Structure 1
Amino acid sequence: MDRVDLKPPADDVGRRADAYACAPLLNCLLREVAVPLPDPGERPAYRLPGTGRLLRVRPGRRPADPEVYAAGVWHRVGHPELVKLVAEELRRHTGLPGGDLPAEMIDSRDAVAALLDARARATAPADPYLRSEQSLITGHPYHPAPKARGGGPVASWLPYAPEAHARFPLVLLGVREDQVAEEGDTRALDALGTAPPGYRLLPAHPWQLDLVGGDLAPAFADGRLLRLGTTGFDTWPTAAVRTVYEPRRDLFLKFSLDVRITNDIRRLWRHDLLRLRRTDLAAGQALTALGPSAGWLSDRGYRTAAFAFEELAVLVRDGLRGHLLPGATPLLAAGLAEGFEGSPLAAAADPEGWWEAYLRQVVPPALAAFDEHGVVLEAHLQNTLVAVDASGTPVQALFRDAEGAKLVPDVPRAAGWERLVYCLVVNHLTEIAGALAEHRPGLDPWPAARRELARHDLPEIPALLASPTLPGKTNLLLRWTGADGADARYLPLPNPLAAR
């Protein structure tokens, strides 16, 4: 990382880290557990049903300054006290101990502090696309520990953190040809270096190799695996942490990491890899049929070692250039929601027109892929790129991640629709709308969203627009109860699309 001399005081970093960490934890607690009081007074107040405690916060998209009521007085609580409060509430609310989640909440806050300190001494990438990918200090706004990095020491993961504006070379391994397992188009991997006769190139994420540790020692010892040095170029980690981008080659590579990030251990699981080509092909065909205003970044192939199938797997993903409209600049939707220097959302002179253009690019491809092709895109903020023209107006949407996409009838249509509504509306449009409204007080973004959805002749649309509720994923309870990360559970949230 490039360094500059600016460094904030340690107490300022700690205060900011507490604020960043409290906001998503409070969002989860208020969405999933707390009961709003009918007369909140100057601040929204809630009863926590398990403990009976009263909690109030400074309202907003990112709630802040939590206080609990005791002995007739409101008392401010910091992040450590909030974690204890949430843990006690959930133990009584669910009857379950919660496992490692309290430690993950603390780890997430400490990771934010390390990231803030590192960012103050790093130079953000000049490329607005990379800047948008590396902007997510809050991260998932409705997860109790969005920045946890597996509890390891900071030195083990910070050199590879996108939020710290990291860039780094990849490790090059040679896998003996009779031990290679691959499917799809992996030719891009062979161009990363030179393998000796009888071996194939296999790039590895440095953190990935550190995590695997001594498990590979026998393969190195008997010659199934060779160390061939590193790439002669740096790669940039994207918001997903384990996916990197190399701009000159216009190449994305996705790796396995045995680390829990949000709900899941971020390993390339064998069962997902074996069904990847079918899902990727269906998604690519669906979006290609819609014309150039929508695109799919294909996960076109994987390569690994047969003796370490999941541990050393690497996925080759399409670059950007073959999909972008001329002159368009791609930006990560999650970056637009969080904010970054040069964001066109913040700079929009006509916010209502900008929002309508955004909806025209993002909504139709997701609905058409579902209704006409049976593809349930995981169209949330981190899997959607929105390309803008020279004026900053959205002109194109690109979607990614065949691992997260689902196919009908592998999932029932009703379940697929619920997942799409959560990803597209609750996770995605709600956050972009909220960010836009923060920049332009008084703007109501929901009539335009309702009009855009109403244009599409899906049988589910009338019920969506008439329903008083939307499905909200319960990430706090999901993690507290130890459910599998893919086992989404939803609770009803007020529907801003409903006629008012």
Structure 2
Amino acid sequence: MTRSVGRGRLDADAARAEAGLAAHAGHLSGPFRDALGEAADTVGRRLRAALVREDIGDARARNAGLGRRHGFDRVEFGAAGVGDPADLLAGLDAPGLAAELRDAVVNLAVALARGPSRAGPDQVGPDEAAITAEQIAVAGHNLHPCGRTRLGWDTADVLAHDVESGHTRVGFVAVRDDGHLGDDVGLLLRDWYPRLPAPPPGFRLQPVHAWQRDAVLSRRYRDLLDDGALRLLDAELDAVPTGAVRTVLLPPDAAGRRHYLKLSLDILITSTRRSISVASTRNGPVVSRLVRRLIDADPDGHRLLPLAETAGAAVPAGSGRDMSVIVREALPALRPGETVVPGGALPALAGRLAAVTGAGRDGARAWLDAYARLLLPPLLRLTRCGVALEAHLQNCLPTFVDGRPHRMIVRDFAGLRLHAPRLAAAGHRLDLWPGSVIGTADVGTLRAKIGYTALQAHLGEVIIALGRAHGLDEDTAWGTVRAVVDDTYAPLLADPDAAADHAALTAPRAPHKALVRMRLSGGGDLYVPVRNPLHGRA
């Protein structure tokens, strides 16, 4: 039974959304109202868990001993306990977060009302299949309460461009040469899609999200438009939005190949505005080549497939973030019997996949062992070399053959961390754009990145799913993961860096990325110490 939503600001936000649905998709009004209680409870439970885990406000009162504890001090609640998740912020000065939470509730209810989009009969490739499966994770980020926040969009925008829409549009602008920075992405696209127009002489064609073109560029850059340095064009390409929303899949090009574009989208999702820095557009190809070299030298490199970012460009006007684009390669061809599962969908499917290795807890433990041995060894060895990939569920697409873990595809290098001293010691020059946040000289930052994303946000969610589906005891599960960590580092312990990494990842306490604290502070990454389930299991 769904929980009724309390009256107040959330009701007002829901009424505005329902009016938008009545105008643009009347058949969704009833399902939207029915889904509001479930949406509010989902957002509230995630917020309540984050407040307790991050020790924010009167966390003890919010916990009240009712939550179920998991590894890394995660607490899961059976109910939010409030009609409006923002009520859990009582005593905190957080009006911005309250608005984001209510927006998340409304947009989650819209998504629940819509249901997943379906690929057409001519859309059966791995990329389309992965995007369709991403919609299983309807609430978005598995730990963040604002996974469905879309502040900046109204209901019509959500209906037109969100992941459940199944389609969106890429627009184009012409940028004068002296206002363009980076690769000529428009020239690439014109080669792939010959029907696209050539830019005027002295200009470059720059792809932008259609919403960004219409809602942001047309009003924010009136000076450039009036001066003629920037021109809005009518040309468009159809595209399919991914779970990341701002990353879209393009149609097959003239040679039948697929490509992704990561586009600036100035809306708030999980408390972050989804525009793209100049640094990200310039670093993507450089980082892709570095990661590829390191993976090629790894004994398990054939099982780890990074999706390269092959080109990028920006327009350094205003914030420098509003017209950025990154080109990413598509998924590789799958082998006979191989299927790809986006990480966000994996918790919902892990129980079924694990059944192939045997019944009950033993089968689940064997499957977890195989999965952890696919995920962790190459990532931990990369970290030893100075590269910590952001391997949370949203960035990983594992593949399976007959349900058994086979390969791990990773994407999006914007959130990784590169440790310059370790890379230099290994003979790799770190040539990043000035001011890039992905570079660090702090080895603790490097370890926190891989520990939080791969162990806590990724394997932690999979372990909970296996417990629910097969009764796998969490102590047993984390002992299985600890064995994989130990086996990975065993031949490397003569190296002081590897030994220190192993000690840090199995220490009594581990750094947990404090998503709500970060939003309240308005700063960069913040971590809080949590109890480490890998400690003491050697």
Q: TM-score range by the shorter chain?
A: 0.7 to 0.9
The structure-2 alpha-carbon separation of the partners of 1:23 and 1:239, relative to structure 1 and needing over 3 Å to count, comes to same
Q: CA deviation at 1:377?
A: 0.8
User: Residue deviations 1:307-357, cap 9 Å, x none?
Assistant: 4642111111122126x55653332212212x26x9954764533333222
The structure-2 alpha-carbon separation of the partners of 1:5 and 1:392, relative to structure 1 and needing over 3 Å to count, comes to farther
Counterpart-to-counterpart distance in 2, 1:34 and 1:177: 49
Q: Provide the secondary structure at the position in 2 that maps to 1:201.
A: strand
User: Residue deviations 1:145-194, cap 9 Å, x none?
Assistant: 221112542222332111x2431231133334444321487753233423
Partner of residue 356 from structure 1, selected from 350, 369, 373 = 369
User: Residue deviations 1:370-425, cap 9 Å, x none?
Assistant: 11x31111111111111222x12221112222221221123322321122111111
Give the conservation status (yes or no) of the 8 Å contact 1:450–1:465. no
Return the letter of the residue paired with 2:479. Answer: P
Q: Provide the secondary structure at the position in 2 that maps to 1:259.
A: strand
Q: Provide the secondary structure at the position in 2 that maps to 1:491.
A: strand
Q: Provide the secondary structure at the position in 2 that maps to 1:310.
A: coil
Name the structure 2 match of 1:83.
Answer: 86
Return the letter of the residue paired with 2:391. Answer: A
Q: Provide the secondary structure at the position in 1 that maps to 2:409.
A: strand
Partner of residue 416 from structure 2, selected from 385, 401, 405 = 405
Return the letter of the residue paired with 1:241. Answer: V
Partner of residue 20 from structure 1, selected from 39, 42, 47 = 42
User: Residue deviations 1:10-32, cap 9 Å, x none?
Assistant: 54312221222122112202212
Name the structure 2 match of 1:216.
Answer: 221
User: Residue deviations 1:274-302, cap 9 Å, x none?
Assistant: 44444333222222323321111112221
User: Residue deviations 1:234-270, cap 9 Å, x none?
Assistant: 3221121111113633211101122222142222112
Give the conservation status (yes or no) of the 8 Å contact 1:173–1:227. yes
Counterpart-to-counterpart distance in 1, 2:530 and 2:351: 32
Name the structure 2 match of 1:454.
Answer: 486
Where does 1:162-201 land on structure 2 (aligned, <5 Å)? 162=163, 164-183=164-183, 188-190=188-190, 191-192=192-193, 193-198=196-201, 199-201=203-205
Counterpart-to-counterpart distance in 2, 1:17 and 1:24: 11
More displaced stretch, 470-479 vs 221-230: 221-230
Name the structure 2 match of 1:305.
Answer: 315
The structure-2 alpha-carbon separation of the partners of 1:461 and 1:374, relative to structure 1 and needing over 3 Å to count, comes to closer
More displaced stretch, 106-115 vs 278-287: 278-287
Return the letter of the residue paired with 2:77. Answer: P
Name the structure 2 match of 1:335.
Answer: 345
Counterpart-to-counterpart distance in 1, 2:240 and 2:351: 20
Name the structure 2 match of 1:157.
Answer: 158
**Once superposed, what is the RMSD of the aligned Cα atoms?**
3.1
Question: Which one has the bigger helix percentage?
Answer: 2
Where does 1:426-441 land on structure 2 (aligned, <5 Å)? 426-441=456-471
Q: CA deviation at 1:58?
A: 5.8
User: Residue deviations 1:419-449, cap 9 Å, x none?
Assistant: 2111111111111111122111135422321
Partner of residue 368 from structure 1, selected from 365, 376, 381 = 381
The structure-2 alpha-carbon separation of the partners of 1:9 and 1:227, relative to structure 1 and needing over 3 Å to count, comes to closer
The structure-2 alpha-carbon separation of the partners of 1:327 and 1:349, relative to structure 1 and needing over 3 Å to count, comes to closer
Counterpart-to-counterpart distance in 2, 1:363 and 1:53: 35
Matched, 1:113 2:113: no
The structure-2 alpha-carbon separation of the partners of 1:353 and 1:346, relative to structure 1 and needing over 3 Å to count, comes to closer
More displaced stretch, 350-359 vs 269-278: 269-278
Give the conservation status (yes or no) of the 8 Å contact 1:99–1:480. no
Matched, 1:476 2:516: yes
Name the structure 2 match of 1:73.
Answer: none
The structure-2 alpha-carbon separation of the partners of 1:438 and 1:187, relative to structure 1 and needing over 3 Å to count, comes to farther
Give the conservation status (yes or no) of the 8 Å contact 2:416–2:449. no
Counterpart-to-counterpart distance in 1, 2:247 and 2:355: 29
More displaced stretch, 234-243 vs 409-418: 409-418
Matched, 1:137 2:138: yes
Matched, 1:246 2:250: yes
State, as a whole percentage, how many aligned pairs show the same letter: 26
Give the conservation status (yes or no) of the 8 Å contact 1:20–1:137. no
Q: Provide the secondary structure at the position in 1 that maps to 2:169.
A: coil
- Alignment: residue pair count: 457
Q: Provide the secondary structure at the position in 2 that maps to 1:109.
A: helix
Unaligned runs of 5+ in 1: 36-46, 68-76, 92-96
The structure-2 alpha-carbon separation of the partners of 1:263 and 1:4, relative to structure 1 and needing over 3 Å to count, comes to closer
Matched, 1:281 2:313: no
Q: CA deviation at 1:55?
A: 3.5
Return the letter of the residue paired with 1:449. Answer: V
Counterpart-to-counterpart distance in 2, 1:6 and 1:116: 10
Unaligned runs of 5+ in 2: 1-24, 70-74, 359-363, 421-439, 490-497
Q: Provide the secondary structure at the position in 2 that maps to 1:369.
A: helix
Counterpart-to-counterpart distance in 1, 2:383 and 2:186: 28
Counterpart-to-counterpart distance in 2, 1:283 and 1:346: 30
TM-score (normalised: structure 2): 0.76
